[in-house]
Amino acid sequence: MIRLASKSLASNEDLSTVTSQVVNEKETHAVHEGNSSIIQLVQAKPTVLVLVLTFVASISGFMFGYDTGYISSALVVIGTDLDNKVLSYGEKQFITSATSLGALIGAIFAGILADLYGRKKVILGSNVLFLWGAAMQTGCHTVWVMIGGRFIMGFGVGIGSLIAPLYISETAPTHFRGRLVVINCLSITGGQLVAYAIGAGVTHLHNGWRLLVGLSLIPPAVQFVMFFFLPDTPRYLISKGKLEEAKSVLARTHSDASPELIEAKVQEMSLTVTSMAGSNPFVQSWNAIKQLHTVPSNFRALVIGCGMQGIQQFTGFNSLMYFSATIFESIGFKDSVAVSIIVAATNFVFTIVAFFIIDKVGRRRILLVGIPGMMISLIVCAIAFHFFGIKFVDGAAVVNHVGISGWGIVIIVSMICFTATYAFSIGNVPWQQSELFQQDVRGVGTAYCTATNWAGSLVISSTFLTMLQKISATGTFSFFAGLCFVSFIFIWFCYPELGGLELEETQQLLTGGFNIKASKELARRRKQAAKLAKSGELA
Residue 277 near residue 426, CB atoms below 8 Å: no
Q: Is 188 in the site for ligand INS (CB under 6 A)?
A: yes
Binding residues for ligand INS, rule CB under 6 A, total 13
Residue 185 vs residues 131, 269, 343, 425, 471: alpha-carbon distances, Å: 22, 27, 16, 11, 32
Choose the binding region for ligand INS from 50-58, 172-180, 187-195, 264-272 (rule: CB under 6 A). 187-195
Footprint on residues 425-444 left by ligand INS (CB under 6 A): 427-428, 431
Part in contact with ligand INS (CB under 6 A); list of ranges 181-189, 205-213, 281-289, 327-335? 181-189
Report which of 152, 154, 163, 157 is spatially closest to residue 116, judged by C-alpha positions: 163
Residues in the chain: 539
CA neighbours closer than 13 Å in the CB half-sphere of residue 298: 19
Alpha carbon distance 282, 423 (integer Å): 38
Supply the DSSP symbol for 46.
B
Report if residue 192 touches ligand INS, rule: CB under 6 A: yes
* In the complex, least distance from residue 182 CB atom to ligand INS, rounded to whole angstroms: 10
CA gap 292, 297 in Å, rounded: 8
Of 298 and 318, the one with the shorter C-beta distance to ligand INS is 318
Instruction: Quote the least distance from Cβ 453 to ligand INS, whole Å.
Output: 6
**Helix H or strand E encompassing 393:** strand 390-393
Tell which one of 43, 96, 453, 506 touches ligand INS (CB under 6 A): 453
H/E stretch holding 531: helix 516-538
Interface positions, 368-407, toward ligand INS (CB under 6 A): none
Using CB atoms, what's the residue nearest to ligand INS?
427
Instruction: Please choose, out of 188-196, 223-231, 260-268, 438-446, the segment that lies near ligand INS by the rule CB under 6 A.
Output: 188-196
Q: How far is the CB of 161 from ligand INS (least distance, A)?
A: 7
> What is the enclosing helix (H) or strand (E) of 405?
none
Cα distance between residue 350 and residue 268, in whole Å: 37
DSSP one-letter string for 54-112: HHHHHHHHHHHHHHHHHHHHHHHHHTT-STTSPPPHHHHHHHHHHHHHHHHHHHHHHHH
Which amino acid makes up residue 136? Answer: M
Of 140-148, 424-432, 435-443, 526-534: span binding ligand INS (CB under 6 A): 424-432
Looking at residues 320 to 359 of the shown chain, list those that interact with ligand INS (rule: CB under 6 A).
321, 347
Among 22, 185, 375, 379, binds ligand INS (CB under 6 A): 185
Closest to 350 measured CA to CA, from 172, 188, 160: 188
Reduce the DSSP state of residue 294 to 3 states and report it.
Answer: helix
Given the complex with ligand INS, which of 316 and 500 has the nearer CB atom?
316
Binding ligand INS by CB under 6 A: which of 37, 174, 318, 432?
A: 318
The answer to whether 69 and 461 have CB atoms below 8 angstroms apart is no
Residues 134-153 that bind ligand INS (CB under 6 A): none
**Could you tell me the smallest distance in angstroms from the CB atom of residue 431 to ligand INS?**
6
Closest contact distance (angstroms) between CB of 188 and ligand INS is 5
With CB under 6 A as the contact rule, which of the stretches 81-89, 183-191, 395-403, 493-501 interacts with ligand INS? 183-191
- Exposed e or buried b per residue across 475-488, where buried means at least 16 C-beta atoms within 10 angstroms of its C-beta: ebbbbbbebbeebb
Q: Of the two residues 19 and 457, which places its CB atom closer to ligand INS in the complex?
A: 457
Residue nearer to ligand INS on the CB measure, 129 or 185: 185
Cβ closer to ligand INS: 208 or 316?
Answer: 316
Q: How far is the CB of 221 from ligand INS (least distance, A)?
A: 24
Q: Does 457 bind ligand INS (CB under 6 A)?
A: yes
User: Of 99-107, 186-194, 237-245, 329-337, which part binds ligand INS (CB under 6 A)?
Assistant: 186-194
DSSP class of 434: G
- Tell me the C-alpha distance between 108 and 112, whole Å: 7
Torsions phi, psi of 63, nearest 5?
Answer: -70, -35
Pairing mode, if any, of strands 390-393 and 396-399? antiparallel
Minimum Å gap between C-beta 169 and ligand INS is 15
Q: Which residues bind ligand INS (CB under 6 A)?
A: 185, 188-189, 192, 312, 318, 321, 347, 427-428, 431, 453, 457
